[in-house]
Amino acid sequence: MSTNDPSPSFTPPRPLRRIGIYCASNEGARPVYVDAARRVGALVARRGLGIVYGGGRTGLMGAVADAALEAGGEVIGVMPHGLVEREVAHTGLTALRVVDSMHERKAMMAELADAFLVLPGGIGTFEEFFETWSWAQLGVHRKPIGLLDVEAFWHPLQALLDQVEQEGFLRGTPRYWLQQHHDPEALLSLLETFEAPVARRWLRLGET
């Protein structure tokens, strides 16, 4: 991906233990999205990695969790009290961490995960993705972020980012953090071998 800084310095990859997954709580308009979610869950588990996700039982969230559990994987859900009380939590997870707010949910997921994989989703998924990405730019974490490009879902975003960059609103190394592929196995390999660009730490996780 393009950048205005052609020669950033890098740090070696860190071992992955858990993948944080952001995705929709509904199934989307086509079965291909659920199929991709189930494949991601199974592949992560078969690689011996755990999953950290929003803790839901429906939509792509539920598909990821169910497939990983069926493959013998660890699945940790993180969910605010209010959503648990509305009975949208998955009850068969390895662990369900109940927190007080959506912000605490994102902070805990960021702490527990060593990399992030973003499936198609809506406003909530975008918000999680962009906040996690902005934290990388601010030096809060040094973890890669992968976009699973199911049926070219993320192509419009990349076109928008090109425009943002051309207009001078995206500078330095932010796009180095983003890995993108249509194949989940290839994307997981990119996350495992990612070398983080060195970024100044402006904030720590508790300050976000």
- pLDDT given at position 9: 53
Q: Which helix (H) or strand (E) holds 46?
A: helix 31-46
Residues 128-157 have a mean pLDDT of 93
Query: Is 80 exceeded by the pLDDT of residue 53?
Result: yes
Residues 175-190 have a mean pLDDT of 93
Provide the residue ranges of all domains of the chain, joining segments of one domain with +.
Answer: 15-154+161-195
- pLDDT given at position 8: 46
Closest of 2, 33, 10 to residue 194, by C-alpha: 10
> Which amino acid is present at 32?
V
Closest of 44, 82, 47, 99 to residue 66, by C-alpha: 44
Q: Can you tell me the distance from the alpha carbon of 201 to that of 50, in angstroms, rounded to the nearest whole number?
A: 27
**Band (4; pLDDT cuts 50, 70, 90):** very low
- pLDDT given at position 177: 82
Decide if domain 15-154+161-195 falls under CATH 3.40.50.450.
yes
Q: What is the pTM of this model?
A: 0.88
Least confident segment among 5-9, 156-160, 203-207: 5-9
**Band (205; pLDDT cuts 50, 70, 90):** low
